[in-house]
Amino acid sequence: MEFKTIFQILKKYLSDGEDTPTFMRDLISMLTDVSEKDWDTKKDPSNPDRVSDDTLINYSKRGLSAKLARQIMYRTKEEYLIERINECPSGTREAMAKDFSSYDPSVNESNVADKAAGWIIECIRKKAGFVSEDQLSQQRWEQQSSDLKMKYGNYLLAEADNFCPICGRRLIAVRNSQSVPVYEVSLIDKTKDPTPENLLAMCPNCAANYQMDDNPKLQKELEAKKSVLSTHEQSIETLEDLPLEAGITGVVTRIKKLKEKDLAEAALDPKDLTKKIDPTVDIALYISVRTYVTTYFNKINQIMINLDKKNLIDYEEVQDQMKGIYRRLSKAKKSKAEIFNEISRKIQRVTLQEDIYCQIVVSYFIQRCEVF
Ligand SMILES: [Zn+2]
């Protein structure tokens, strides 16, 4: 179905008397979270944050420009449009379905929202140059994704931490108070075999787009993301059986409460830090750790000693655990930045506190030589 046709029918029932440019704006913002100033198309000279009305009228006749379609393709959301149509009284939906029925006889009052949203996304996808495969290869692709889900789905979801690596959308939805995974499994390099190293879990929209997209730049990006995700997953496996005292939570919560005046008088000059982290190699890591150590080291030391006295933490045990975790990661040939991240994430999993405080704890153990 043509974009123009869908647009006219939607406008008739949803626009509430708005003119074409206003409704077009409304429709595009319902379909994507890319804001208007970033639509990257001909702007209104009097208001550069807005697209010119002429451009929008043009879209209503010929569909979105290929440039805009490509730009929003991985950021489209059908939910808002579906919701908006479903909010209409059933009489309105019935009339809308009737207008669409000459294109698809199966459309009715209860499925018109899903169908119309599907059609319009399909138009944008085509405009972006992602040509729909013929039905047979489409079916083959769906079959492949569902086979791969059976085989590797849970692993790939965990590896992706339940987020789509392209658009960042969650891959788990809550429906009728139950959590359901909403994702597809996609090949990264489509010319290679579907081995776990060449697979990613993605949201259905990005998976459908990527399937038809032969942009080598995106493939490169996905390969880089896959490498980070799988390295992290390996590190989690590496550390799986190593315990970490739950008492560390008390340390982190106390660090969170420290005020500027508590820290000002307790500063430390970490002279030897360059022996542990070489600033010429890891400058960002060096600066972060140095700042945390300078500011927090003495205070954390006090906190540890106090908690140990009260038997809330076994300080020696924690030191041993840190050494153990570090040794395991270092043996697995992780870089210093990776080790720093993985230890702070391990602390994060045990304490469920914000990353930044966990990083401060790791920096403390670096200065104490349990790490690096
Ligand atoms: Zn996505």
Strand pairing class (43-44; 47-51): antiparallel
Percent of the chain with pLDDT over 70: 99
The pLDDT tens digits of the residues spanning 139-161 come to 888 888 999 999 999 999 999 99
Q: How far is the CA of 205 from the centre of ligand 1 (A)?
A: 6
pLDDT tens per residue, range 9-45: 999 999 988 999 999 999 999 999 888 888 878 888 8
User: Which pLDDT value is given to residue 319?
Assistant: 93
Q: According to the model, what pLDDT value does residue 93 have?
A: 96
Q: Which letter does DSSP use for residue 170 in this model?
A: B
In angstroms, what is the span from residue 207 Cα to ligand 1's centroid?
7
pLDDT at 136 over 80: no
Q: Which pLDDT does position 133 carry in this prediction?
A: 63
pLDDT at 129: 84
Question: From the CA of 60, how far away is ligand 1's center (Å)?
Answer: 27
Cα separation of 296 and 275, whole Å? 19
Mean pLDDT over each residue of the chain, to the nearest integer? 91
Q: What pLDDT is recorded for position 310? A: 92
- Of 77-81, 195-199, 249-253, the range with the highest mean pLDDT is 195-199
pLDDT at res. 241: 86
Q: What pLDDT score does 132 carry?
A: 67
Tell me the CA–centroid distance for residue 126 and ligand 1, in Å: 18
- Cα of 219 from ligand 1 centre, angstroms: 14
Question: Measured in angstroms, how far is the CA atom of residue 77 from the centroid of ligand 1?
Answer: 10
Dihedral angle computed from the Cα positions of residues 361, 365, 371 and 372, in that order, rounded to the nearest 10 degrees: 100
Q: How far is the CA of 21 from the centre of ligand 1 (A)?
A: 28
CA–CA dist 312, 318 (Å, integer): 12
Ligand 1 center–CA 15 separation, angstroms: 29
Residue 90 has pLDDT above 90, yes or no: yes
Residues 95 and 8: their CA atoms lie apart, in Å, by 13
Per residue in 59-71, pLDDT (tens digit) is 999 999 998 998 8
In angstroms, the Cα distances linking 239 to 71, 214, 231 are 40, 38, 12
Crossing angle of the two packed helices 216-239 and 135-159, in degrees rounded to 10: 40
8 A C-beta contact, residue 159 and residue 108 = no
What is the structure's pLDDT at 203?
93
Indicate if the pLDDT at residue 94 is higher than 90: yes
Mean pLDDT of 262-273: 84
**For residue 11, what are its two tokens?**
């406008």
pLDDT digits (tens, 9 = 90+) for 278-293: 999 999 999 999 999 9
Residue 48 — very low, low, confident or very high, per pLDDT cuts 50/70/90?
A: confident
Predicted confidence (pLDDT) per residue in 157-192, tens digit: 999 999 999 999 999 988 888 899 999 999 999 999
Is 90 exceeded by the pLDDT of residue 268? no
